[in-house]
């Protein structure tokens, strides 16, 4: 195992979203923190925002061990609840024998769910607009720790539905609602309204936005990607085409920002492409614990092999 040194004066961290694929980012960050990595600020969207919040509050409460424990607790809760299973159960009632039911980890089942959501929308399957992440975040989020003066700077982005612009929530502003807004996939959950403004997933406006981090004039930027930049083959089915369009759209903003990084800034990135090979885009809905553990292990391996900077 190659241990890395991140000894810059000011280090910032960017965490992509990707639903269940965020377990890859969890693995990378777990390995880095174990090896002594520390950051002065972090920006995240969607599952990256949830991971960032857990890491920051864990660092405040218990240092490196606290951060690793807090991240693990969150993902353990996600896996134990298999958070998208309630939607799959509803779909099975609407389309008996559709193959979703209890075997939601099955790729065909996930593709069926995605197709049904594209056709009918989320309302028939989630009429009350329930978000299974809400009780998990209500139990785990420590707003006092996030607001502690010693806490790393935390930026969580959500996308305003009507303007398409990113709203950046900072340490004291980060609530359960802000994190749900940052991770709100509109095909699955209703928009989250904060201060009269409706928000969707932050990845639509930046995955994640780098501007808040670059404004701090950092010496080192570490980016952990949790989505595929490349995917072999040309899709022909409507659902596959829409999924690939979304993947490309989620990468466009971050690619543009990475192309314009200031000179002299050291940049390290960890990519999930290899870990996601062969997985359908719909696998981002797969919160089965075995699947999350597989991505976590892949992330750990990636975090232990990057070159020293």
Give the residue numbers marked as catalytic. Answer: 46, 201
* Cα 184 to Cα 180: distance, rounded to the nearest angstrom: 6
* Cα 292 to Cα 81: distance, rounded to the nearest angstrom: 12
Q: Tokens 């390290």 identify what position?
A: 268
Number of alpha carbons in the 13 Å side-chain half-sphere of residue 40: 17
In sequence order, what are the residues at sequence separation of 6 or more whose Cβ sits closer than 8 angstroms to the Cβ of residue 177? Answer: 192, 194
Q: In terms of Cα–Cα distance, which of 11, 13, 73, 15 is closest to 49? A: 15
Q: Where do runs of H (alpha helix) occur along the chain?
A: 22-34, 47-81, 85-94, 107-120, 133-140, 143-146, 176-182, 211-214, 238-258, 289-303
């Amino acid at each position: 195992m190659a241990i890395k040194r991140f000894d810059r004066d000011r280090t910032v961290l960017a965490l992509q979203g990707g639903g269940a694929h965020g377990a890859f980012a969890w693995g990378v960050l777990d390995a880095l923190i174990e090896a002594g990595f520390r950051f002065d600020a972090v920006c995240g969207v969607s599952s990256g925002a949830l991971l960032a919040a857990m890491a920051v509050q864990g660092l405040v409460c218990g240092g490196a061990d606290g951060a690793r424990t807090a991240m693990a607790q969150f993902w353990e809760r996600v896996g134990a609840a298999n958070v998208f299973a309630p939607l799959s159960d509803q779909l099975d009632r609407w389309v008996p024998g559709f193959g979703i039911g209890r075997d939601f980890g099955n790729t065909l089942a996930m593709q069926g769910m995605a197709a049904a959501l594209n056709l009918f929308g989320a309302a028939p399957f989630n009429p009350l607009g329930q978000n299974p992440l809400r009780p998990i975040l209500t139990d785990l989020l420590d707003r006092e720790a996030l607001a502690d003066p010693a806490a790393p700077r935390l930026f969580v982005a959500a996308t305003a539905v009507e303007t398409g612009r990113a709203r950046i929530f900072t340490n004291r502003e980060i609530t359960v609602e802000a994190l749900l807004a940052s991770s709100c996939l509109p095909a699955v959950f209703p928009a989250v309204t904060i201060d009269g403004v409706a928000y969707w997933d932050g990845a639509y406006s930046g995955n994640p936005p780098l501007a808040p981090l670059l404004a701090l004039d950092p010496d080192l930027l570490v980016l952990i990607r949790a989505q595929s930049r490349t995917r072999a083959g040309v899709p022909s089915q409507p659902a596959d085409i829409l999924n690939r369009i979304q993947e490309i759209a989620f990468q466009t903003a971050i690619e543009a920002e990475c192309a314009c990084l200031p000179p002299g800034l050291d940049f390290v990135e960890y990519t999930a492409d290899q870990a996601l090979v062969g997985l359908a885009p719909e696998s981002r809905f797969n919160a089965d614990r075995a699947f999350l553990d597989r991505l976590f292990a892949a992330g750990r391996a990636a975090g232990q092999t990057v070159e020293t900077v």
